[in-house]
Amino acid sequence: YQQFINYPSLTVYENIASPLRLMNKNSADIDKAVRQCADLMKLSSFLTRKPLELSGGQQQRCALARALVKGSGLVLLDEPLANLDYKLREELRAEIPKIFADSGAIFVYATTEPEEALLLGGNTATLHEGRITQFGKTSTIYHQPKDATTARIFSNPPMNFLKLSKSGNKITFSDGTNAKASEALSKLGDGDYIAGFRPNHLELAQHSDMAIKFNAKLDVTEITGSETYMHMRHGGERWVGLVHGVHDLTLGEEVSVFLDPSHIYTFSQDGNMVLPAFYAKGI
């Protein structure tokens, strides 16, 4: 649930206890369960407060405590962090894996944030237009998406794409850029494909002899902590690059970005995975 579903007139203690009272549990069992759950959620110091006296993160933990106190074997969480501010969201993201592990329940956790799925691990199902596109271990889906749609969903920022063709030991991108086929790409049959690569694999410096150079026009830059997001246009494609460090870049200027071919995912023209990135093959 995205909203904090708490009873504003009840204390934190009574909010957590409310499902148990509906189940006609005795007072001793209720008190024990409430205090155990409050301790798990770091709410023991706030049991006498009302929800509106809590921070946003504490309110959400109170709602989670009420969901867990019944000892249900299966719990559904629908984007529980969506309406929290950045600081509170990061705080709860760090706490949730331990909460899940300590509760012993099975959680179905719906999110639009790939980072949350990667943080929680376990199994992941990716959805597109109401259909499951892939299901399996979270790390496997991230490194070996079965199609371009899944790759786009499970990448934040979304994966970049560019058409390419292979002939012999040469690859040619739709912008006219030519390169020698890498060890992995040399295994492709001759023909037309779609190349996919994640934003963090575009670099501002050439770190290998095999790196492929592209020129792009810089539209927007976003600096978040120690990282810089570069929103670029390359021909008719819009790309995002994610590089470490704070970079002084001028909007509208042409920048050169470099891509190691071992980071290229190859898809068929209809979007099905043909070859995962070489670095992910063994995962």
Q: What is the pLDDT of residues 87-136, one digit of tens each?
A: 777 877 888 888 788 878 888 999 988 888 888 888 999 999 999 999 99
Q: Which CATH class is domain 12-110?
A: alpha beta
Q: Where are the domains of the chain?
A: 12-110, 159-280
- In degrees rounded to 5, what are phi and psi of residue 163? -70, 145
Which phi and psi (to 5°) does residue 107 adopt? -115, 135
| 159-280 shares the fold of 12-110 | no
Please give the CATH topology (third level) of the domain spanning 159-280. Answer: OB fold (Dihydrolipoamide Acetyltransferase, E2P) (2.40.50)
- H or E element at residue 53: none
Give the up-direction half-sphere exposure of residue 265: CA atoms within 13 A in the CB hemisphere: 27
CB atoms within 10 A of CB 212: 21
pTM, whole model, 2 decimals? 0.78
Please state, rounded to an integer, the average pLDDT across all residues of the chain: 89
Q: What digits encode the pLDDT tens for the residues 5-51?
A: 899 999 999 999 999 999 999 999 999 999 988 988 889 999 999 99
